[in-house]
Amino acid sequence: MGIMGRKYLVDIPAHLARRTDALIDSGDYESVSAFARAAFENQLLLHASNEETILVDDAPDTGTAPTQESASDDEQAIDSWREALSLSKLNAESVETAEAEPITDGPIWGQFNKLLPIKIGVRGLAVLQSDEGGPVPLEEFRKIVGEQASQVRTHLGRLDDAQGRRRGEKMAAGLPDGSSEKSVRRYRNHFLGSLDSDGDMRGALAEMGFVRLYVDGDGEMASLTDAGLDFAEIASPVLDGKDEPTMTLSEDERKFLIRHMAENIPGEIEGMRQILDWIENGHNTPNKLNKKVATMNEEWSEKMAKTMRTGLLGRMYDLRLVEREWEGIRVTYSSKDQESLIASGEV
């Protein structure tokens, strides 16, 4: 006779219930039971792992590069995508922006741990709105840009391999694997965004204040805000560079994002300040920082604090505020150019 499972009746805070419901509504999990099983497995893996060993979500893998046989077709698709999303296709004067609707003071959700996926989202929507003028259907935006992002991932995955980038430092991280429907769906839901059953916005672009998602007579619609359009207009080393990129953000993009966060998502910048201070004071490993990040919000569980720490550090790495130093599979963090950033008023 097989081993019988157990049933648990668990009380959880309302904010965790809302996040769980959003993930189920978006299709990431089939049910509360499926989510709970995944949570149990992840937490048990966390306890079983070595305290200072880097975990999966500290360094998301981008998967293997496409085979040589498929490279030619993939590169042709990438070339067409580059042309479709080039700055020459963006006519800012024809884009009607929507008023921003802040949904968080920050820090933003830890699952949004990379910034290039956000850039691709705003550039893709800007080009679509250049053609339409006004807002575009949300599902059209999600479908088209989700496919484009998967093509970028294929290209950057090859560059990551050629440049010997380690896990967690790969430029393709956070972008969807076009061969996996689940991966593409996660990118569309987590980064491009969606509306939940109450009509509330979800996703990284919304938390950054770069899009407005809403329902009108034409259905669910998406429109850039002024800030989103401004970010879309800045040249990108990945999307617009003539040479192969070695970083995901230009200096202009980096400075724009830091200013935007400071003015509109103050909790994000404050979280980054605290991370830098903790690193400077010797709390420079994943588990040491987990304990410190847990003090930022008394309602965060241990796993939630770990997720938020991962997200903050991932975004800070893209902004070139921190560096990773490796010894085997163990990682420590160091601050990068902190003094000049503080002196310039950016952080």
72 and 179 both lie in a single domain? yes
State which of 31-45, 154-168, 178-192 shows the largest mean pLDDT: 178-192
244 and 296 both lie in a single domain? no
Is pLDDT of 69 > 50? no
DSSP-assigned states of every residue in 199-234: S-EESHHHHTT-EEEEEETTEEEEEE-HHHHHHHHS
How far apart CA 207 and CA 12 sit, in angstroms, is 24
- Of 263, 259, 249, 256, which Cα lies nearest the Cα of 314? 249
For position 218, what pLDDT does the model report? 83
Query: Residue 299 domain-assigned?
Result: yes
Q: In this prediction, what percent of the chain has a pLDDT beyond 70?
A: 79
Query: Residue 41 domain-assigned?
Result: yes
For position 23, what pLDDT does the model report? 63
Query: Residue 3 domain-assigned?
Result: no
What CATH number did the domain enclosing 282 receive? 1.10.10.10
Top-confidence residue, 120 or 8: 120
Task: Indicate the pLDDT class of residue 37, thresholds 50, 70 and 90.
Answer: low
For position 57, what pLDDT does the model report? 41
Is pLDDT of 60 > 60? no
Task: Work out the angle at residue 317's Cα, subtended by the Cα atoms of residues 201 and 241, and round it to the nearest 5 degrees.
Answer: 85
26 and 143 both lie in a single domain? no
Q: What integer best gives the mean pLDDT of the chain?
A: 82
Region 167-191: what's the mean pLDDT?
A: 92
Total domains present in the chain: 3
How far apart CA 183 and CA 313 sit, in angstroms, is 22
DSSP-assigned states of every residue in 159-201: HHHHTTPPTTS-TTTTS--TT-HHHHHHHIIIII-EE-TTS-E
Task: Indicate the pLDDT class of residue 9, thresholds 50, 70 and 90.
Answer: confident
User: Which residues are paired to 212 by β-bridges?
Assistant: 223
Q: What is the pTM of this model?
A: 0.78
311 and 178 both lie in a single domain? no
99 and 182 both lie in a single domain? yes
Lowest mean pLDDT among 3-17, 98-112, 253-267: 3-17
Biggest alpha carbon distance in the chain?
Answer: 70
Task: Indicate the pLDDT class of residue 22, thresholds 50, 70 and 90.
Answer: low
For position 338, what pLDDT does the model report? 60
229-259 residues labelled b (16+ CB within 10 A) or e (exposed): bbbbebebbbbbeeeebeebbbeebbbbbbe
81 and 148 both lie in a single domain? yes
For position 27, what pLDDT does the model report? 54
Is pLDDT of 190 > 60? yes
**C-alpha 67: how far from its chain's center?**
27
For position 104, what pLDDT does the model report? 87
Print the domain residue range for 37.
Answer: 14-48
DSSP β-ladder status, 219-224 and 211-216: antiparallel
116 and 40 both lie in a single domain? no
Region 293-302: what's the mean pLDDT?
A: 92
- Of 325, 326, 322, which Cα lies nearest the Cα of 311? 322
Residue 218 token pair: 């034409």
Q: Is 299 helix (H, G, I), strand (E, B) or coil?
A: coil
User: Which amino acid is located at 40 in the chain?
Assistant: F
Show which of 223, 255, 287 is a domain's final residue: 255
213 and 285 both lie in a single domain? no
Which are the contacts of 9, defined by CB distance < 8 A and separation ≥ 6? none
222 and 273 both lie in a single domain? no
Query: Residue 182 domain-assigned?
Result: yes
26 and 144 both lie in a single domain? no
Query: Residue 301 domain-assigned?
Result: yes
Identify whether the C-beta of residue 178 lies closer than 8 Å to the C-beta of residue 190.
Answer: no
Query: Residue 225 domain-assigned?
Result: yes
Is pLDDT of 313 > 90? yes
- pLDDT tens-digit series, residues 110-163: 999 999 999 999 999 999 999 888 899 999 999 999 999 999 999 999 999 998
334 and 222 both lie in a single domain? no
251 and 166 both lie in a single domain? yes
For position 95, what pLDDT does the model report? 92
For position 293, what pLDDT does the model report? 95
